[in-house]
Amino acid sequence: MSTGCACCLGSRASFAPMPELPEVEAVARSLRPLVRGQRIARCCVLHPIAVRPQRPATLRRAVEGQRIEDVERRGKYLLLRLPHGCVVVHFRLDGQLVWFDSDTISGHVDVAFELERGTLAFVDRRHIGRVQWLARPEENSGIVALGVDAFSQEFTCQHFQAVLAKARRPLKLLLMDQTRIAGLGNIYSSEALWHARLRPQRRANRLPPAEARRLHKAIVNVLRRALECCLRPAPDFRDPNWWFAGLEKILRAYDREGKACWRCGDRIRRFVQGGRSSYYCPGCQQ
Ligand SMILES: [Zn+2]
């Protein structure tokens, strides 16, 4: 990973969730009224790594002069809809959007879109996130492969049970697979399994219908609760240090290794699963 310049280094203090479905949905809902209808007068790529593998000139030429028609979310991707194509933003670990009321920007900025009433900037000090223009969202290999969105009406219990039946993998790894269910990451898959009282190691295709229904309900509820939390307070794009705060209050398993389980008092355990930390309670998750 290249850091590009000295200003690129830096990390957030305390608990800072990686954007999953609720965080990106909160960004989309809050950003929509701020940018919808505005024309992109100029696009500046200050750190070309942020648009890779696209060339900065390709992005610039494609978006300049176009009007932002809408802001959408697909899984963990954010889309700025334009009359011709769209800008796809993938935040990955800790990319974020910052708003400046004028065309004067400050601090670390990777890509700046000068609009009529201000500047929308993509910031990612670690340079893992990406911003690209595509003629169609489906040209992005990650977007075209997305499974059913966990917030969509298509994500029914029946659909979820069909997804489970086809997977021999442990539940937690299946829940995090964006090609099966779009939107869940490490945090909310751990949380949904805690609420459903199921261990992350359980084989997906061996889940009885009653437990599958419990897990489906837990996924939907955990994401809705997190979205409410992400919208109160709503994202403050004018604050360069803004990030989602207070989410740790709703967490019951994630990042709570050694702490007492809220339900049974046993100690939360952590283990590595698929290269990521999984958390569960041995006392009440079966
Ligand atoms: Zn417990």
Cis peptide before 233 (omega within 30 of 0): yes
Distances in Å between the alpha carbon of 74 and those of 37, 71, 145, 150, 282?
20, 10, 11, 10, 34
Catalytic (active site) residue 53: no
Ligand 1 centre distance from Cα of residue 14 (Å): 25
Average pLDDT over residues 269-274: 96
Enumerate the CATH 1.10.8.50 domain ranges in the chain, comma separated: 148-223+250-280
- Residue 12: per-residue pLDDT: 55
Please write the tens of the pLDDT for every residue from 160-169: 999 999 999 9
Average pLDDT over residues 148-152: 96
24 vs 35: CA distance, rounded Å: 16
Phi, psi of 87 (to 5 degrees): -95, 125
Choice among 73, 76, 199, 214 that is catalytic: 76
Q: Are 254 and 226 in contact (CB under 8 A)?
A: no
Enumerate the CATH 3.20.190.10 domain ranges in the chain, comma separated: 15-144
Structure tokens at 230: 């992400």
- Residue 272: per-residue pLDDT: 97
167 vs 178: CA distance, rounded Å: 14
Structure tokens at 102: 């004028």
Average pLDDT over residues 142-159: 97
Ligand 1 centre distance from Cα of residue 197 (Å): 8
pTM: 0.92
Catalytic (active site) residue 23: no
Catalytic (active site) residue 172: no
103 vs 222: CA distance, rounded Å: 39
Ligand 1 centre distance from Cα of residue 267 (Å): 7
Average pLDDT over residues 201-206: 98
- Residue 7: per-residue pLDDT: 46
The yes/no answer on whether domain 15-144 falls in CATH 3.20.190.10 is: yes
Ligand 1 centre distance from Cα of residue 253 (Å): 9
Cα angle 217-282-286, degrees, rounded to a multiple of 5? 45
Choice among 12, 136, 224, 276 that is catalytic: 276
CATH topology of domain 148-223+250-280: Helicase, Ruva Protein; domain 3 (1.10.8)
Catalytic (active site) residue 19: yes
Amino acid at 194: W
> Taking Cα atoms as reference points, which of 185, 100, 199 lies closest to residue 150?
185
Please write the tens of the pLDDT for every residue from 11-37: 454 677 789 999 999 999 999 999 999
Q: Are 97 and 109 in contact (CB under 8 A)?
A: no
Choice among 19, 137, 200, 235 that is catalytic: 19
